[in-house]
């Protein structure tokens, strides 16, 4: 059951408030509070939300208050999940939103958490793209097109990916990567390798031109 979830309460048709019968702390850090209701159902709230309201055994919860507790708790759970994800690795807006949704959070709670991370300055698509591109160029032999596809898969918007790559993966940078990748191979192998690694056609053409110029001449010519 995802964080902030609840069991289904029984509907007695009266519309009366539900009464809390017991409260249980959960988790090693006590961040979750399970609240059991008189109708046999229960729901889980974040300890931060629980502490903000005077809830105790015997308290009555009407439907608006019950829904408010659930919504606010899911938002805080989503925020905490976002912080954990960011503590492991930088995220893009789309990437973080996608991961929160995949963990069972609602669209609204996921958007709340994302917006909070943006407000705190923890999520920036351009910073992510620049850092990711620098790392890939330093550790991989990839062309502009391969880097571009990688940024899009990571959730970077197209216009940001193009701007970052035009600055970081210039023609000279890509050409240098291509030379390293094709050192000592035949023209045919060079074309195969460079195409597979996403190098642009003009870079491949320059590599082939350099190979032709550097190829030993037949002494009988």
pLDDT one-digit tens code per residue, 175-217: 999 999 999 999 999 999 999 999 999 999 999 999 998 876 6
Q: Write down the pLDDT at residue 216.
A: 66
The pLDDT tens digits along the chain (221 residues) read 355 555 544 444 444 568 899 999 887 777 899 999 988 889 899 999 888 877 888 888 888 888 899 999 999 999 999 999 999 999 999 999 999 999 999 999 999 999 999 999 999 999 999 999 999 999 999 999 999 999 999 999 999 999 999 999 999 999 999 999 999 999 999 999 999 999 999 999 999 999 998 876 655 54
Sign of the Cα torsion 161, 162, 164, 170 reads: positive
CB 62 within 8 A of CB 9: no
Q: Write down the pLDDT at residue 15.
A: 45
CA distance 66 to 6: 11
Does an H or E element contain 25, and which?
strand 18-26
Domain positions in the chain are: 18-119, 125-214
Q: Write down the pLDDT at residue 60.
A: 86
Query: CATH for 18-119?
Result: 1.10.10.10
- Residue 103: which residues within 8 A CB-CB, separation 6 or more? 2, 81
Q: Write down the pLDDT at residue 2.
A: 52
């Amino acid at each position: 059951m995802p964080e902030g979830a609840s069991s289904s309460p029984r509907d007695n048709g009266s519309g009366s408030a539900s009464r809390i019968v017991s409260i249980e702390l959960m988790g090693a850090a006590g961040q979750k509070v399970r609240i059991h209701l008189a109708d046999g159902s229960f729901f889980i709230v974040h300890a931060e939300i629980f502490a903000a309201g005077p809830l105790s055994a015997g308290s009555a919860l009407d439907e608006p208050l019950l829904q408010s507790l659930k919504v606010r708790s899911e938002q805080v759970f989503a925020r905490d999940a976002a912080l954990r994800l960011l503590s492991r690795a930088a995220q893009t807006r789309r990437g973080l939103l996608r991961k929160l949704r995949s963990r069972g959070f609602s669209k609204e709670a996921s958007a709340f958490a994302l917006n909070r991370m943006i407000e705190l300055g923890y999520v920036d698509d351009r910073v992510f793209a620049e850092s990711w591109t620098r790392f890939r160029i330093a550790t991989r032999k990839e062309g502009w097109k391969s880097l571009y596809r990688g940024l899009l898969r990571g959730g970077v918007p197209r216009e940001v990916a193009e701007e970052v790559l035009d600055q970081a993966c210039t023609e000279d940078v890509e050409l240098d990567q291509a030379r390293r990748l094709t050192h000592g191979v035949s023209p045919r192998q060079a074309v195969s390798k460079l195409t597979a690694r996403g190098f642009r056609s003009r870079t491949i053409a320059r590599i082939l031109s350099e190979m032709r110029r550097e190829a030993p001449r037949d002494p009988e010519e």
